[in-house]
Structure 1
Amino acid sequence: MKKEECFYLGKIVSKFSFKGEVLIKLDTDEPESYLKMESVFVDYNNNLVPFFIDKSALHKSDLLRVKFEDVDSEEDADDLMKTDIYLPLTLLPKLEGDQFYYHEVIGFTIQDVTFGKVGIVKAVNDSTAQALFEVDRDGIEILIPMNDEFIGKIDRESKVIYVETPEGLIDLYL
């Protein structure tokens, strides 16, 4: 399994017991959705390694307490500290209508109501206060805020995102 085929679920943040249990800080709004997992991929030495889950339970709000198979001591758990946890993209629930996962719109065309075809979505930058579409227009990068008021419609079939950006926003880059 490659990282491109997976989504980031969280990070192992601490040990929980002397029997090898760990706490995973989940990067999700719905931690209860991940209670019945049979396995996860652990980013161990830059390889995604499958780990099978003996048992898991929610701990406080967004922490998942996990007992992995064959992780039976504090020493075993030490080895996994601060590693990232991934799941295959196929396990993400399908979104309907104008909801989308960032990874799924890479390669979509951005079509602005007044400007016309803007370019192709190369990435989504979510490290800023406002997530941004990074759009390539013939080698020029255009950043468009992922604001609900700007996004009109997502056409998954045609791979087009229809937007209505404020006047002059796209022209700033050209």
Structure 2
Amino acid sequence: MRKKDCFYLGKIAKKFSFKGEVLAYLDTDEPELYENLESVFVEFNGQLIPFFIEDAFLHKNDFLRIRFEECDSEEAAERLIGCELYLPLTMLPKLDGNKFYFHEVTGFDVIDTKLGLVGKLIRINDSNYQPLFEIDSNGTEVLVPMIDEFIERVDRDNKQLILHIPDGLLNLYLDK
């Protein structure tokens, strides 16, 4: 399995018991969706390795307590700490309306409700407190805060992200 065909689910944070169980932090708003997994891909030494799950259940909201098959000691669990967990993109729940996954809208045309085509969405930068749409507008990088009130519509059929960008924001970047 290739990483580009998967989505990031979370990271193994720490050991839980002397029997090889681990606690994985899940990077999701709905951790309960992942309680009954049969397996996950664990990134180990740069490779995605399938790990089969013997038992898993939620632990303190955002953590999943996992017992992997053939991981039955503290030492085995220790080797997994810090490893990232992935699942195939096909396992993502479908979203509709104006809800979207970041990877889903990459490459969409960004349309402003007043000014028209702004450019192509390169990526969503979520490394700061406020996620930003990074848009390529004819070679100029335009940053627009990813705020619900700015998102007019996600048009999946035409691969367009229609935004209501506040007056003056694009003027900071473009001669519009």
SS in 1 for 2:80: coil
Return the TM-score normalized by structure 2. Answer: 0.95
Q: Give ranges in structure 2 of 5+ residues lacking alignment.
A: none
Task: Find the counterpart in structure 2 of residue 5 from structure 1.
Answer: 5
2:44 aligns with 44
Distance 1:13 1:160 in 2: 37
- 1:8 Cα deviation (Å)? 1.0
**Residue-by-residue CA offset, 1:23-78 (whole Å, 9 max, x unaligned):** 11111122111111000010100111110001111122211111101111111111
Q: Give structure 1 stretches of 5+ with no counterpart.
A: none
Structure 2 distance, partners of 1:137, 1:113, is 16
Number of corresponding residues: 174
Structure 1 equivalent of residue 149 of structure 2: 149
Deviations 1:103-143 (A, max 9, x none): 10000000112221000001101112221110001211001
Moved over 4 A (4+): none
Distance 2:150 2:60 in 1: 37
TM-score (normalised: structure 1) = 0.96
The amino acid of 2:3's aligned partner reads K
1:79 alignment partner in structure 2: 79
Q: In structure 1, how many angstroms separate the alpha carbons of the residues matched to 2:57 and 2:99?
A: 29
Residue of structure 2 equivalent to 1:65: 65
- Per the alignment, in what secondary structure is the counterpart of residue 76 of structure 1? helix
Q: Distance in 2 between matches of 1:149 and 1:85?
A: 32
Secondary structure, in 3 states, of the residue corresponding to 2:149? coil
Map 1:111-126 → 2, pairs under 5 A:
111-126=111-126
Mapping of residues 117-136 of structure 1, within 5 Å: 117-136=117-136
